[in-house]
Amino acid sequence: MLFALHEGERPGTLEMEVGRSRLAKEGQMSIREESSLDQALGRAGDGAFVITADGRIVLWNRSAEKTLGYTAREALGRPCCEIFVGRDDSGNRLCYKGCHVMTLVKMGETVQNFDMQTRTKTGRPIWLNVSIIVTPNGSGGPLTIHLFRDVTATKELLNVVSERFSSQAPAPPVSNGDLTRRELEILRFVAAGESTKAVADRLHVSPATVRNHVQNILGKLGVHSRLQAVAYATTHRLL
């Protein structure tokens, strides 16, 4: 299991039993599947945690500990909403028992990545971009994998750019109809901080195709950089 161990340490008995007993009760991945999942999340550069159908954390990797400050001993077995207490840009609460993400997972719907404001263990405000992956877990219901990365600096920079951009003379209004469906899709990926290669891989196209779409987006919005495009799109609610 993943317990965000420091180098040279071994998982404590209590931590090991909490994580494994949760999986045992929730109805079962094989030992091989469990080990494969552990190893994959352990290598992930993003923070990662896994919850069962009741919202309790059963896996917590080292990057999650580094980002938020909670050790595996503190996180395992707790409802994820107690750790994160996340809110959106408007201050609406995102994390609660039976949250919107879990509702979509139960319905078998795809969950789009989203930004969430929370706090570290020490109380420092932090913005996270969160991606969701669902994996089967036998009769116990699906396991929901949350991958997250710190986007606080990006958020703060976008706010500064948005403020400066909005103080300039307004450009001619742009509606969603002026951007093609693919351009809007790429703009959303850009807003999420995806690189050209990552967007190309997701859309199964070449990086050159993505760059051409980005240039078209910049031209239609009357801006000169990706950052300005995201700021403009955010200000004018294009996304």
Residue 234 pLDDT: 81
- Report d(CA 47, CA 126) in Å as an integer: 13
| Nearest one of 45, 34, 46 to 2, comparing CA atoms | 34
- Report d(CA 61, CA 75) in Å as an integer: 10
Task: Spell out the domain ranges in the chain.
Answer: 13-150, 155-235
Which tens digits make up the pLDDT trace of 105-140?
989 998 999 999 999 999 999 999 999 999 887 666
Residue 144's DSSP bridge partners are 51, 134
Specify whether the CB–CB gap between 89 and 116 falls below 8 A: no
Q: At residue 76, what are phi and psi to the nearest 5 degrees?
A: -60, 135
Residue 236 pLDDT: 79
Residue 70 pLDDT: 96
Residue 210 pLDDT: 93
Pick the CATH number of 13-150 from 3.40.190.150, 3.40.50.2030, 3.30.450.20, 3.40.50.460: 3.30.450.20
Residue 170 pLDDT: 53
Q: Which residues of the chain have pLDDT under 70?
A: 1-35, 138-140, 162-177
Residue 5 pLDDT: 34
Q: Which amino acid makes up residue 179?
A: L
- Report d(CA 74, CA 54) in Å as an integer: 18
Percentages (nearest 5) of helix, strand, coil residues in the chain? 50, 15, 35
Q: What CATH class has 155-235? A: alpha beta
Residue 222 pLDDT: 84
Residue 176 pLDDT: 56
Q: If you search the block for the tokens 């707790």, which residue do you land on? A: 78
- Report d(CA 17, CA 105) in Å as an integer: 27
Residue 167 pLDDT: 58
Residue 169, Cβ density class (10 Å: 0-12 exposed, 13-18 middle, ≥19 buried) = exposed
- CB within 8 A of 184, min separation 6: which ones? 176, 238, 239
